[in-house]
Each structure stands twice: as C-alpha cells, then as structure tokens.
C-alpha cells in the first residue's frame, strides 16, 4: 500500500478503478504479504484481513475491537496523506474528522487515538499567535500541547536560527495547524532539536 500511496500522492487525477481496487483489496494483500514472510499468527492475520470490515461474520469475534482500532488508524493516516488532487488534512483536522464521522464504538477509539498521537504530533507545522510558523518537535503533556520551534518569522522569512517557543505563553500559543504544502522551508531537524534543547535548558 505504501508504493500505491506514493503514486497517489504525485498523480494529477483521482484514483483509477485499478487503484480503487488495490485500496479495497489491501487487507487481503496485506495478509498474503505477512504470510509470505512467515507470519502465521491467526489473530494478527484476522485483524489485518478484516480491518475494512471489522464486524464481518467471517472474522474472529474476540478481535473485533482490534480490527476497529486498525481501521481508525488506517483512516487517520489516509486523511493526512497529501495528493495532488487534494491537500492533506492536518493531524488535528484528521482527528476531528474521525471523531465526527465515526459510528458505533469508533468515536471512542478515534478520540483515544487523537489523545495518544496528540493533535500536533512531531513534524506538524503550526501558525503561532505571534504570526510565526513553527514545527512541532515533541509532544506536550496533553493532546493539544506541543513543543515547537519557530522556523519562519512573522514576515514570512525563514529563520537562520530556530527559536524554541513555549506554547503555554499566550503570544506563542498555537493558532492553527498549517498544511506542509504551505511551508516552503526545508527544515533542518538537527537544528530544530538543538533549539528545543537550548530553549528548555
């Protein structure tokens, strides 16, 4: 599925019928791949095989919650995958969409996943109240918190020296997530982690 997602990310058209079939069939293909590398755990294979249809009668009843969880994770990642035909959702937008769109037991699982991953996982870009743009370099203590390093100044110019910003300060609070496509800066993560270490020292 990873290679197919790479192709979908760069093509200018909506998925073809063959690609839609691949997306639909990826649970079965995933099982074939796992068996091909020698994995024969019946529960793992069941979870992978039926995660698109977690309530299927053919599936093992005791794995139902795990299948729903994998479906939620699959959906979460798909919503954040950019394509030329649509922008990627931010992690916050994907989490919100999953909670609002989920049915049955899945709103609880979607909410738990959003809490575990955080609304701003590392690598997410955000706009601060100060108008700076920053990259998240570490999760904060709560789902809506993050440790961020400013990489673009309020005028839109890239910073040569990255600056740690404490989002608990009102002037550096996170205003909104920013799609990666809108960030025209190549982030040096060694510099970003150094700025985090310096800022928290």
Residue range 69-94, pLDDT digits in tens: 999 888 888 888 777 677 778 777 88
By CB neighbour count within 10 A (0-12 exposed, 13-18 middle, 19+ buried), where does 11 fall? middle
3-class state of residue 126 by DSSP: strand
Q: What is the pLDDT of residue 13?
A: 65
> Positive or negative CA dihedral for 110, 116, 122, 124?
positive
The continuous run of DSSP H or E covering 180 comes out as none
Q: What is the pLDDT of residue 11?
A: 59
Q: Is the pLDDT of residue 119 over 90?
A: no
Nearest-CA neighbor of 120 among 106, 109, 110, 134? 134
Predicted model pTM? 0.69
Q: What is the pLDDT of residue 4?
A: 53
Taking the mean position of all CA atoms in its chain, how far away is CA 5?
Answer: 14
């Amino acid at each position: 599925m990873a290679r197919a997602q790479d192709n979908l990310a760069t093509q200018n058209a909506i998925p073809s019928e063959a690609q839609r079939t691949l997306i639909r069939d990826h649970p079965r293909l995933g099982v074939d791949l796992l068996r091909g590398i020698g994995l024969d755990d019946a529960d793992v294979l069941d979870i992978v095989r039926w995660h698109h249809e977690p309530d299927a009668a053919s599936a093992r009843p005791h794995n139902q919650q795990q299948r729903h969880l994998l479906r939620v994770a699959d959906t979460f990642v798909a919503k954040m995958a950019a394509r030329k035909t649509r922008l990627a959702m931010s992690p916050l937008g994907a989490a919100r969409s999953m909670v609002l769109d989920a049915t049955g037991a899945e709103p609880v699982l979607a909410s738990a996943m959003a809490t575990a991953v955080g609304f701003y996982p590392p690598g997410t870009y955000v706009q601060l109240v100060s108008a700076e743009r920053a990259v998240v370099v570490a999760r904060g203590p709560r789902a809506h918190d993050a440790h961020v390093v400013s990489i673009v100044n309020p005028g839109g110019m890239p910073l040569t020296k990255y600056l740690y910003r404490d989002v608990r300060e009102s002037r550096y609070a996170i205003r909104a997530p920013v799609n990666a496509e809108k960030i025209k800066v190549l982030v040096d993560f060694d510099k970003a982690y150094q700025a985090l270490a310096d800022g928290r020292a």
